[in-house]
Amino acid sequence: PLSLLNDPTLLKTDALINGHWVKGASRFDVHDPATGKKLADVANLGPADASAAIDAANAAWPAWRNKTGKERSIILRKWFDLLMAHQEDLGRIMTAEQGKPFAEAKGEVVYGASFVEWFAEEAKRVNGETLPQFDNNRRLMVLKQPIGVCAAITPWNFPLAMITRKVAPALAAGCPVVIKPAELPPLTALAAAELAIRAGIPDGVLNILTADSDNSIAIGKVFCSSDIVRHISFTGSTEVGRILMAQSAPSIKKLALELGGNAPFIVFDDADIDSAVEGAMASKYRNAGQTCVCANRIYVQDAVYDEFVQKFAAKVKALKVGNGFEDGVTQGPLIEDAAVDKVERHVQDALHKGGKLITGGHKLTGQFFEPTVIADARADMLCAREETFGPFAPVFRFHKDQEAIDAANNTEFGLASYFYSRDIGRIYRVSEALEYGMVGINVGIIASEHVPFGGVKQSGLGREGSSHGMDEYVEMKYLCLGDI
Ligand code: ADP
């Protein structure tokens, strides 16, 4: 698939440090999850390279922070234009290395680029404050200044958007960045970096350290222990988030963590069922169920349970599984064998505990799994507690509203949640009762560059996107001017 690129020079396999493409002491293979075939071998960098990149970023910092917001804005805007101009090629690289259907991959390019456009605009609006004095002899101000060298560690499910959501606000604020992209699909990140260079991002301001999983752990340690790195933004599992937080304790580092979810999707008896089915399809089966905001547990009220299950299953049966480059395919492969095993474990566990198989249920060849619906799901099933991260939807039945709210909140996670109702009182009551950072009401897709994306409880710290997304990357400095 990569031989079809309009611009073959976007296919980079070396890492980027201080404006130079670096081969690394060793290499690691990247595979197409749909075919298992090798796509490329990529630079496998280690801790010494990480230190070099951090030093390069630190050296590049003064010149970058001394540019005006407008100067940084112009460069970011150019990067946005280039990402959009190469949407087709970036989508192609993404589908090849990550597996999502080509149309979805091109959609992610638009979504990923939108953060660059948004923060290009925000770069000009990092406003400070003047405060009323507590003594007439003084004047009080708050400056907002870039925090310093930022590190980013990103996951494989959104190979572009998870990078731009962190890098764009950091660069806009005047911070240089060192990125350790996910090891399974690193090629999209490298192509985006090539476009950043073409947009005029100076040497050292954006560095990309590709690495295999062992070296990723070693590089993570360097990020956490470095006194130069002032901020780490991580998206990935709660388990790794916890490790990074512990490792960062000695240097008291500021952290932004976007971790696991266990999203409830509640359908009340007054809901528009067709709309709820459509929302559940989008929320559950996008990216083959591999997003941290995918509906993980579907709760449906008695009176509409059978109708929902029947209509939902009909749509799930119509999904087309296959290679993301084939026409009409809506479900690509899962990212790796371990992901397939996890879905199978959750499905088997649900069936053993009395779940009723409505459709799917089986592993297919390679890294594919049938889109699956199981009814009569119960709270003691694995799928009620753990994020499945795959194309399996368990449907739970509930009677009273409070039961659904209690079940929804009965998890250590608190990222996205969804519910369907037309009753305005219920909408307010349920929205306020859900212990989640985000609530979708009568809608299954909620992410956008306009909104603060993030979770509560063990789903993480901080928010990405919106004007608040910039807060991570600036420090407030209070100035007290006396003797007026
Ligand atoms: P997922 O469950 O999405 O695969 P992970 O949390 O395992 O997420 O990985 C997300 C990112 O974190 C990847 O870039 C991976 O290389 C990196 N990573 C995994 N373990 C560590 C670690 N101990 N320290 C630093 N980075 C890590």
> pTM, whole model, 2 decimals?
0.98
Nearest-atom index, ligand 1, CA of 154: 14
From the number of C-beta atoms within 10 Å of its C-beta (0-12, 13-18, 19+), residue 129 rates as exposed
- C-alpha distance from residue 5 to each of 34, 85, 159, 234, 276 (Å): 18, 13, 18, 30, 39
Nearest-atom index, ligand 1, CA of 247: 24
Q: CA dihedral defined by 105, 109, 112, 115, rounded to 10 degrees?
A: -150
Choose which residue among 30, 216, 334 to substitute to test ligand 1 binding: the one with the highest number of ligand atoms within 8 A of its C-beta: 216
Instruction: Judge whether 202 and 64 are in contact, CB under 8 Å.
Output: yes
At residue 93, the 3 state secondary structure works out as: helix
Give residue 155 CA to ligand 1 midpoint distance, Å: 7
Give residue 234 CA to ligand 1 midpoint distance, Å: 9
Residue type, 390: G
Tens digit of pLDDT for each residue in 229-249?
999 999 999 999 999 999 999
3/14 Cα distance (integer angstroms): 18
Mean pLDDT for the stretch of residues 11-39: 98
380 DSSP assignment: T
Residues in the chain: 484
CA-closest residue to ligand 1 atom 8: 236
Confidence of residue 304 (pLDDT cuts 50, 70, 90): very high
Give residue 182 CA to ligand 1 midpoint distance, Å: 7
Confidence of residue 324 (pLDDT cuts 50, 70, 90): very high
290/156 Cα distance (integer angstroms): 9
Share of the chain above pLDDT 90, in %: 100
Annotated active-site residue in 117, 258, 387, 464: 258
Instruction: Judge whether 7 and 36 are in contact, CB under 8 Å.
Output: no
484/481 Cα distance (integer angstroms): 8
User: Degrees (nearest 5) of the Cα angle 81, 82, 88?
Assistant: 110
Residue type, 196: A
ipTM of the prediction? 0.98
Instruction: Judge whether 28 and 38 are in contact, CB under 8 Å.
Output: no
Cα–chain-centroid distance for residue 412?
19
Tens digit of pLDDT for each residue in 63-101?
999 999 999 999 999 999 999 999 999 999 999 999 999
Asked if the model's pLDDT at residue 311 lies above 90, the reply is yes
Q: Which residue has the tokens 């030093």?
A: 55
Of the candidates 97, 218, 209, 205, the residue with the CA atom closest to the CA atom of residue 158: 97
User: Catalytic: 278?
Assistant: no
Question: What pLDDT shows up at residue 224?
Answer: 98
CB-based contacts of 211-217 (< 8 A; 24+ apart in sequence): 211/28, 211/44, 211/45, 211/46, 211/180, 211/183, 212/28, 212/44, 212/183, 213/183, 215/44, 215/45, 215/46, 215/47, 216/153, 216/180, 216/183
CA-closest residue to ligand 1 atom 13: 182
Confidence of residue 193 (pLDDT cuts 50, 70, 90): very high
Mean pLDDT for the stretch of residues 118-123: 98
**Per-chain mean pLDDT for the chain:** 98
Question: What pLDDT shows up at residue 269?
Answer: 98
Instruction: Judge whether 183 and 28 are in contact, CB under 8 Å.
Output: yes
Question: What residues does ligand 1 touch, defined as CB less than 6 Å away?
Answer: 153-155, 180, 182-183, 213, 216-217, 220, 236-237, 240, 243
74/169 Cα distance (integer angstroms): 14
CA-closest residue to ligand 1 atom 21: 217
Beta pairing partners, 115 = none
Question: What pLDDT shows up at residue 1?
Answer: 83
204/176 Cα distance (integer angstroms): 7
From the number of C-beta atoms within 10 Å of its C-beta (0-12, 13-18, 19+), residue 477 rates as exposed
256/474 Cα distance (integer angstroms): 13
Beta pairing partners, 416 = 438
Nearest-atom index, ligand 1, CA of 237: 6
Q: Quote the radius of gyration of the chain (alpha carbons, Å).
A: 23
Of the candidates 26, 17, 12, 13, the residue with the CA atom closest to the CA atom of residue 49: 17
Q: Which residue has the tokens 């301001």?
A: 205
